[in-house]
Amino acid sequence: MLPRLSPPQLAFNRQDIIMSILRSLTLLLIALVSVLSLPASAQEDDPGKALLNNLAEVPASRVEEAINAIVSSGDERARGWLEAYGNNRLSRIDDTGQVVIVLNNRGRDWEIANPLTGENMGEMSRRELDRIAINNRIRGQLEGILAMLDLNATDPDVREASAQDMMGKVDASLVEPLEAQLEREENASVRNRIEEALAIYRVGEGNLEAVDVLAGSLHPRARAALNEAVRSDNPALADKAEQALASIEQKLKLNRAAETLYFGLSLGSVLVLAAIGLAITFGVMGVINMAHGELIMLGAYTTWGMQQLLPGQPGLALIFSIPAGFLVAATAGIIIERSVIQFLKGRPLETLLATFGISLILQQLVRTVISPQNRTVVTPEWMSGSLVINDALSLTLNRLYVLAFALIVFAALMMIMRKTRLGLEVRAVTQNRAMARSMGIRATRVDIMTFALGSGVAGLAGVALSQLTNVGPNLGQNYIIDSFMVVVFGGVGNLWGTLIAGLSLGTINQLLEPWAGAVLAKIIVLVFIILFIQKRPKGLFPQKGRAAEG
Amino acid sequence: MWLTRPLRERSTQIFLGVLFAALAIVTFLHVAMPEDSALYVSAYTVTLLGKYLCYALLAVAVDLVWGYLGILSLGHGAFFAIGGYAMGMYLMRQIGDRGTYGDPILPDFMVFLNWQELPWYWLGFDMAWFAFIMVLLAPGLLALVFGFLAFRSRVTGVYLSIITQALTFALMLAFFRNEMGFGGNNGLTDFRDILGFNLRTDATRLGLFIATGIALAIGYVICRGIVTSKLGRVSIACRDAEARARFLGYRVDRVQLFVFVVSAMLAGVAGALYVPQVGIINPSEFSPLFSIEVVVWVALGGRATLYGAVIGAVLVNYAKTVFTGVMPDAWLFALGGLFVLVTVFLPKGIAGLLASRRKGKQDEQDTPTAPSTTEATA
- What pLDDT, on a 0 to 100 scale, did the predictor assign at position A9? 41
Pairing of strands B197-198, B188-189: unpaired
- Secondary structure class of A450 (helix, strand, coil): helix
- Secondary structure class of A409 (helix, strand, coil): helix
Give B83 to chain A, closest Cα distance, Å: 21
State chain A's mean pLDDT as an integer.
83
Q: Is the ipTM of this complex over 0.90?
A: no
- What pLDDT, on a 0 to 100 scale, did the predictor assign at position B277? 94
Subunit contact B344:A344, Cβ cutoff 8 A: yes
- What pLDDT, on a 0 to 100 scale, did the predictor assign at position A395? 86
- What pLDDT, on a 0 to 100 scale, did the predictor assign at position A3? 47
Q: Predicted confidence band at A7 (pLDDT cuts at 50, 70, 90)?
A: very low
Give A482 to chain B, closest Cα distance, Å: 9
Q: A196 and A219 in contact (C-beta within 8 Å)?
A: yes
Give the span between the Cα atoms of B155 and B376, in whole angstroms.
Answer: 15
| Residue among A349, A359, A519 whose CB faces B161 most closely | A349
Give the span between the Cα atoms of A271 and A498, in whole angstroms.
Answer: 9
Name the residue with higher pLDDT: A392 or A254: A254
Tell me the average pLDDT across B185-201: 89
User: Which of A17-22's residues contact partners 24+ apart within 8 Å by CB, and which partners?
Assistant: A20/A154
B64 burial (CB, 10 Å; 0-12 / 13-18 / 19+) is buried
Which residue of A533, A535, A543, A549 is the best one to mutate when testing the B interface, meaning the one whose CB has the most B CBs within 10 A? Answer: A533
- What pLDDT, on a 0 to 100 scale, did the predictor assign at position B33? 85
Q: Predicted confidence band at A81 (pLDDT cuts at 50, 70, 90)?
A: confident
* Residues of A in Cβ contact (< 8 Å) with B292: 353, 356
* Residues of A in Cβ contact (< 8 Å) with B169: 481, 526
* Residues of A in Cβ contact (< 8 Å) with B162: 481, 484-485, 488
> Which amino acid is residue A235, in one-letter code?
P
Q: A303 and A377 in contact (C-beta within 8 Å)?
A: yes
**Cα Rg, chain A, nearest whole Å:** 33
Closest CA to B82 of B322, B294, B369, B274: B274
| Residue among A367, A527, A534 whose CB faces B153 most closely | A534
Q: What are A534-546's pLDDT values in tens digits? A: 888 788 888 776 5
- What pLDDT, on a 0 to 100 scale, did the predictor assign at position A541? 84
Give the span between the Cα atoms of A346 and B374, in whole angstroms.
Answer: 6
Q: What are A327-357's pLDDT values in tens digits? A: 999 999 999 999 999 998 888 888 988 999 9
Residue B52 structural domain: 5-376
> Which amino acid is residue B185, in one-letter code?
N
- Asked whether the predicted pLDDT for residue B239 surpasses 80, the reply is yes
**A258-376+393-549 placed in CATH 1.10.3470:** yes
Subunit contact A344:B165, Cβ cutoff 8 A: no
| Residue among B158, B288, B336 whose CB faces A349 most closely | B158
Name the residue with higher pLDDT: B298 or B102: B298
* Residues of B in Cβ contact (< 8 Å) with A485: 162, 166
Closest CA to A131 of A165, A151, A102, A111: A102
Neighbours of B247 (CB within 10 A): 10
- What pLDDT, on a 0 to 100 scale, did the predictor assign at position A24? 65
Q: A437 and A443 in contact (C-beta within 8 Å)?
A: yes
Give the span between the Cα atoms of B354 and B351, in whole angstroms.
Answer: 5
- The secondary structure element, H or E, covering residue A306 is helix A292-309
Q: Predicted confidence band at A38 (pLDDT cuts at 50, 70, 90)?
A: very low
Percent of chain B with pLDDT over 70: 94
* Residues of A in Cβ contact (< 8 Å) with B332: 360-361, 363-364
Q: What are A408-450's pLDDT values in tens digits? A: 999 999 999 889 999 999 888 888 888 999 999 998 999 999 9
Domains of chain A, residue spans:
14-140, 164-254, 258-376+393-549
- What pLDDT, on a 0 to 100 scale, did the predictor assign at position A13? 55
Q: B333 and A364 in contact (C-beta within 8 Å)?
A: yes
CA distances from A60 to A56, A92, A115 (A): 10, 16, 22
What is the domain count for chain B?
Answer: 1
| Residue among B153, B174, B295 whose CB faces A537 most closely | B153
Give the span between the Cα atoms of B351 and B63, in whole angstroms.
Answer: 13
Cα dihedral across residues A37, A41, A45, A46: positive or negative: positive
- Asked whether the predicted pLDDT for residue A550 surpasses 50, the reply is no
Which residue of A292, A347, A352 is the best one to mutate when testing the B interface, meaning the one whose CB has the most B CBs within 10 A? Answer: A352
CA distances from A235 to A224, A228, A258, A500, B241 (A): 18, 13, 35, 52, 82
* Residues of A in Cβ contact (< 8 Å) with B174: 519, 523
Name the residue with higher pLDDT: A231 or A459: A459
